[in-house]
């Protein structure tokens, strides 16, 4: 467990100092039309695509659109837990996750994590400049309800997988509706 903590500390320092330069780890194989990071195929596309996803799903499913987008977020959260978190730090503890969370998600461009906390039955995660809210805001303008459905699905599953408890994430504040931050409340089901 001490090794895991040391490893986590090193990853954190590396990311904070910008040593992990995404341009350097990105393998571009233009000949075969592939780009990848550590063998995993990546796709570079505009974050605004998320707003298109929202719009298209809403056109078909109406008020139920958040259920589908949340489901997509949940499956990505589960995949990232296994493919990233568990792959890097197999015996990771919640405390370590909380300390690494801000720097990891800021590095991959999901937004600036202002705060993350997790207690026995509730938790809170605050993002500034969240990509999903930003995409919706830039494409559709200010909305009257929270819009980060992918994020709620993703965060709920990610923390459930990490803690072994069943968490549900609810967005209580969203930049797409004019709030200063996107704020996610975690509650046990």
Partner 1 sequence: MTMPTKVIIEEVLGGLKKVGGITASAVVTRDGLLVASDVTGEVDAETFAAMTATMTGAAETAISEIQAGSLDRVIVEGETAKIISVGAGSKALLVVLAASDAPLGLVLLKIGDASRKVNKILE
Residues that bind partner 1 (CB under 8 A): 59-68, 70-71, 168
Q: Give the pairing of strands 26-29 and 34-37.
A: antiparallel
Least CB distance to partner 1 at residue 62 (A): 4
Least CB distance to partner 1 at residue 175 (A): 19
Q: Specify the residue, 66 or 173, whose C-beta has the smaller distance to partner 1.
A: 66
Least CB distance to partner 1 at residue 156 (A): 10
Q: Specify the residue, 69 or 104, whose C-beta has the smaller distance to partner 1.
A: 69
Q: Specify the residue, 70 or 81, whose C-beta has the smaller distance to partner 1.
A: 70
Token digits of residue 162:
């990490």
Instruction: Fill in the DSSP letter of residue 119.
Output: -
What is the rounded distance in angstroms from the CA atom of residue 150 to the CA atom of residue 14? Answer: 28
Q: Where are the alpha helices (DSSP H) in 17-123?
A: 22-25, 49-61, 65-80, 86-88, 94-107
Q: Specify the residue, 102 or 146, whose C-beta has the smaller distance to partner 1.
A: 146
Least CB distance to partner 1 at residue 42 (A): 28
Least CB distance to partner 1 at residue 58 (A): 9
What is the rounded distance in angstroms from the CA atom of residue 135 to the CA atom of residue 187? Answer: 26
For 165, residues 6+ apart whose C-beta sits below 8 A from its C-beta are 159, 188
Q: Specify the residue, 10 or 67, whose C-beta has the smaller distance to partner 1.
A: 67
CA-wise closest residue to 144 among 121, 174, 111: 174
To the nearest 5 percent, what fractions of the chain are helix, strand and coil?
A: 55, 20, 25
């Amino acid at each position: 467990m001490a090794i895991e903590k040391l490893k986590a500390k090193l990853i954190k320092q590396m990311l904070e100092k910008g040593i992990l330069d995404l341009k350097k780890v990105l393998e571009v194989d233009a000949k075969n039309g592939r780009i990848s990071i550590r063998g995993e195929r990546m796709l570079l596309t505009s974050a605004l695509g998320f707003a298109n996803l929202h719009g298209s799903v809403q056109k078909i499913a109406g008020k139920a659109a958040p259920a589908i987008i949340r489901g997509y977020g949940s499956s990505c959260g589960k995949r990232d837990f296994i493919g990233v978190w568990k792959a890097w730090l197999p015996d990771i503890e919640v405390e370590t996750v909380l300390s690494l969370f801000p720097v990891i998600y800021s590095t991959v461009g999901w937004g600036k994590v202002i705060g993350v906390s997790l207690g026995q039955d509730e938790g809170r995660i605050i993002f500034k400049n969240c990509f999903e809210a930003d995409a919706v805001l830039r494409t559709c303008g200010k909305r009257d309800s929270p819009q980060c459905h992918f994020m709620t699905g993703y965060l709920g599953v990610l923390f459930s997988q990490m803690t072994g408890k069943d968490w549900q994430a609810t967005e209580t504040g969203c930049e797409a509706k004019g709030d200063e931050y996107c704020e996610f409340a975690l509650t046990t089901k």
